[in-house]
Amino acid sequence: MLIRTPAELGAILRDRRKKLKLDQSTLAKRIGVSRQWVIEVEQGHARAELGLILRALDALDIRLDAGTEQTPARRITKPGIDINAIVARARKKKA
């Protein structure tokens, strides 16, 4: 399963949790976070802490693999200008 966005990660976590028949409270205790945290991350919370995310994956026996690949048509979503940077700035200005 490829992960590109926080929302995708959240969906993966939720699916896996359900497959293991755990409720949010139990999982939260297992990870060492609050139930609130589980709810927000499953909903795709983009600013969740990396460390906690990794612990959540571990608690659910999900392995994370990083690969340098060649996925052909990948940069089509990247025009000349840098979308990511623009979004990043927008996020800040608005706030």
Question: Contact residues for DNA (CB under 7 A)?
Answer: 18, 23-25, 32-37, 39-40, 42-43, 45-49, 52, 88, 92, 95
> Residue 81 binds which entry of DNA, its own copies, none, with Cβ cut-offs from 5 to 8 Å by kind?
none
Q: How many residues does the chain have?
A: 95
Distance in Å, CB of 9 to DNA, minimum? 12
Mark residue 21 as left, alpha or beta (left: phi above 0; alpha: psi -120 to 50; beta: remaining).
Answer: left
Backbone angles phi, psi at 37, to 5 degrees: -60, -45
**Which residue, chain included where needed, has tokens 């945290």?**
37
Q: Which is nearer to its own copies, 1 or 76 (CB)?
A: 1
List the one residue from 14, 27, 38, 53 that touches its own copies (CB under 8 A). Answer: 53
